Structure 1
Amino acid sequence: MSNFSYKDIYIEDGKRVLEMNILPEKYCNFDCIFCPIGRSHNKIDTQQTFSDISESLNELEHKLMNNEVDLVFINSKGEALVNDKIENVINLVKSKGLAVRLLSNGYILGRVEYMKIANKCDEVIGEIKVITDKDFQKIQRPIDGYSFHEHISSMISFNKQYKGKFILEITILKGYNDSEEAVSKLRNIIDELSPDKIIIERMDDDRFKEKLGISDEKFHAISKALLNK
C-alpha cells in the first residue's frame, strides 16, 4: 500500500503539476491554530522513518511515466523534510528530467542537513504568518525554544546559498500582520530575504475566516504594497 497521496494534475503557468504528500499523517515543528489539517500530535523537527516506501516510489514512478508532468510539488501534511526518505523522492523525480518544488514552513531550512536536501529542488517555498515572536509563539505554537528571529534567519541563510527559485509565501491575518506598521515590517523582511517570488495569501478557510480573514479592499492594498517593493 502506498504511503503517498496525490492531487489531480493541474495546470499552473502552462506547466502540468503533480502535487503530492509524503507524510502518513501530520508531522510538523509548528502547531498553528489555523492549520487546515488540525492539531500537531507529532511535533518534531528531526527525520523519522515511517515505513518502507518501495511500493510508494514504484507508484510515483508509474504516475510520472504514464502522465504528462512538468513539475512535482511536494506539499505534505506538515514539514515534508522530516521524512527521512524525501531525498529518494526528489532523486526519482529528478532522474525523469522533471522539476521539483518543495513547500516548507522554512524554520529548518538553515540547518545543514536539510539545506543539502532542499538544494536539490528547483523551487523552495518558505512561509511567514506573523511578524513578532509573541504572535509566533501564540498562534503558530512551535517546538519549545523556537523563535521568530531564528525562523527568518534560517530562511535568509538558506536563500543566500540556494541556486534555485526561492518563493516567499506571506499569509495576511487580521489583527496580526495587517496594520501599516506590520506591512512595513514585512517589507523589511522581504528586503532581508530577497526572494525570487512573493505570494500573498489570506485566510480563506471558512472555519477561521471570520476571526482571521480580511476584506478584499485591504487584501489588495497590502498585496500592492508588498509586491511593488
Structure 2
Amino acid sequence: MKSSFSYKDIYIEDGQRVLEINILPEKHCNFDCVFCPIGRSKNKVDMPTSFEESNSSIEELGEMIDSTQPDLVFINSKGEALVNDKVDEIIDFIKSKGVRVRLLSNGYILSKDEYINIVNKCDEVVGEIKVITEEDFKKVQRPIEGYTLATYIENMVSFNKQYDGKFIFEVTIIKKYNADDESVEKLKNIITRINPDKLEIVRIDDEKMRKTMWVDDERFEEIKNILYK
C-alpha cells in the first residue's frame, strides 16, 4: 500500500503518547525560509492542493493509530499542512478514532475563511514567528508575493480570538534577527497581542545554521526570562 504520509516514532510529552505525522509528500509552503531544515520550496502555495495516494494514506494512518494507541496525533508537515486539500478529512478521521489533534501551521493563513473551520476542529494549534521586521520577513522567510509581517501577526491575533482550543505560540530566537533588546521588546508586545495559551521559546538547531544563527546559552536564558514573564 503506497502512502504519501510519513511518521516519527511515538514519543512521550507531558505524559501523553504522541504520534507525529507529515501529511505532505514533499515540501509545499507559503514561505521559503532560508533557515528551513527541509530545504527550498519548489512548491510555493497557500491554496488547497491535491495529492495522490490520499485514500491509502488515510487507511494507513488508521492502522498506525490502532497499533500505536497515541493520546495525540501531531500534524507537523514538510511545509504548511493546511494546503493538503484532504486536511479536513484527515482531522475528522483522527477525531473519529477518539484521539486528540495538534496542528502545526506557520500561522499566516489561519485567518482565511477556507481554513478557519478546519483548524477550529483541532484540540491544539501551533503558530510561530521568527523575525520581527518587514525587511527581514521578505529577505529570509521569502513569503508569497504580497505577504506582510503585519498581516502575519494580525492573522494569528484574529484567529486566536475566536479559537476555543489550545493555541501554542512558538518563538524562534535567531542571532542578528531578533535577539537584541529592541527586538525582544517587540516580541513581547506581539506575544501579548496574540495571547497564546502556551508559549514556547526555541533556537535554530539545524547544524548548518548554528554558526550564524545560534544564540548562546546565557543570552538565550535572558531572553526567555523576559518573554516568559
Give the TM-score band, short-chain normalised.
Answer: over 0.9
Q: Give the structure 2 partner of residue 208 of structure 1.
A: 209
Matched, 1:98 2:99: yes
Q: Secondary structure at the match of 1:207?
A: coil
Q: Give the structure 1 partner of residue 21 of structure 2.
A: 20
Letter matched to residue 89 of structure 1: I
Q: Which runs of 5+ in 1 are unaligned?
A: none
In structure 2, C-alpha distance between the alignment counterparts of 1:214 and 1:67, rounded to whole Å: 37
Letter matched to residue 224 of structure 1: N
Q: CA deviation at 1:63?
A: 1.1
Q: Give the structure 1 partner of residue 57 of structure 2.
A: 56
Letter matched to residue 38 of structure 2: I
Matched, 1:184 2:221: no
In structure 2, C-alpha distance between the alignment counterparts of 1:146 and 1:103, rounded to whole Å: 19
In structure 2, C-alpha distance between the alignment counterparts of 1:190 and 1:63, rounded to whole Å: 36
- Equivalent residues in 2 for 1:1-229 (5 A)? 1-228=2-229
Q: CA deviation at 1:191?
A: 0.8
In structure 1, C-alpha distance between the alignment counterparts of 2:42 and 2:60, rounded to whole Å: 28
Q: Which runs of 5+ in 2 are unaligned?
A: none
Deviation track 1:203-224 (CA, whole Å, cap 9, x = no partner) reads 1111000101110001111011
Whether the aligned pair in 1 keeps the contact of 2:167 and 2:197 (CA below 8 Å) is yes
In structure 1, C-alpha distance between the alignment counterparts of 2:171 and 2:205, rounded to whole Å: 14
Q: Secondary structure at the match of 2:209?
A: helix
What is the percentage of aligned positions where both structures have the same residue?
A: 59
In structure 2, C-alpha distance between the alignment counterparts of 1:204 and 1:213, rounded to whole Å: 7
In structure 1, C-alpha distance between the alignment counterparts of 2:118 and 2:69, rounded to whole Å: 25
In structure 1, C-alpha distance between the alignment counterparts of 2:67 and 2:169, rounded to whole Å: 32
RMSD of the TM alignment (CA)? Answer: 0.6
Letter matched to residue 194 of structure 1: N
In structure 1, C-alpha distance between the alignment counterparts of 2:58 and 2:30, rounded to whole Å: 25
In structure 2, C-alpha distance between the alignment counterparts of 1:84 and 1:156, rounded to whole Å: 24
Whether the aligned pair in 1 keeps the contact of 2:3 and 2:53 (CA below 8 Å) is no
Letter matched to residue 160 of structure 1: K
TM-score, length-scaled by structure 2: 0.98
